[in-house]
Amino acid sequence: MTVNLNQTLGQRIRYARVKSGLTIEQLCECISYDKSSLIDLEHDRINPQFVQWRILYGIIQHCHITKEILFDDYLLFCDKMPLKQIREEKGIKQNQIADFFGVARQTVSDWEHKRKRPSQETWQSLIDYFNS
């Protein structure tokens, strides 16, 4: 299966599902997900930031693909989320990141422990922040 990272997450999900020979109903049953939500996801009416990991990994498993096919750089980063490691290597405190981005320190902690994902805009800003 060839990946096109210029496609949206929804387009990649639909491509993987169709290529795997699954209907929307079949995939929904496999991953315990609502049909209308999967339709919204495939049509990019759901922000990737808010899609649960269990749904994404269910799609990967049942469509027999790798996460590199489904995930773009943003989701791959969030999946590995080396934020804490990078922050500690640079000698930066959570409070410094929180102050810089105008978020609570708890939000930074949530990012580090994968309880939440930064928005794609914040993710790009984090990369720029650590590279400066």
The CA distance from 132 to 120, in Å, is 19
pTM: 0.71
Q: Return the H-helix or E-strand segment holding 26.
A: helix 24-31
Other C-beta atoms lying within 10 Å of the C-beta of residue 6: 7
Q: Which of 53, 69, 101, 50 is nearest to 4 (CA)?
A: 69
Show pLDDT as tens, one digit a residue, over the chain (132 residues). Answer: 555 657 889 999 999 999 999 999 999 999 999 999 999 999 999 988 788 889 999 999 999 998 888 888 888 877 876 888 889 999 999 999 999 999 999 999 998 888 888 888 888 898 888 887
62-96 exposure pattern, b = at least 16 Cβ within 10 A, e = fewer: bbebeeebbbbebbebbeebebeeebeeeeeebee
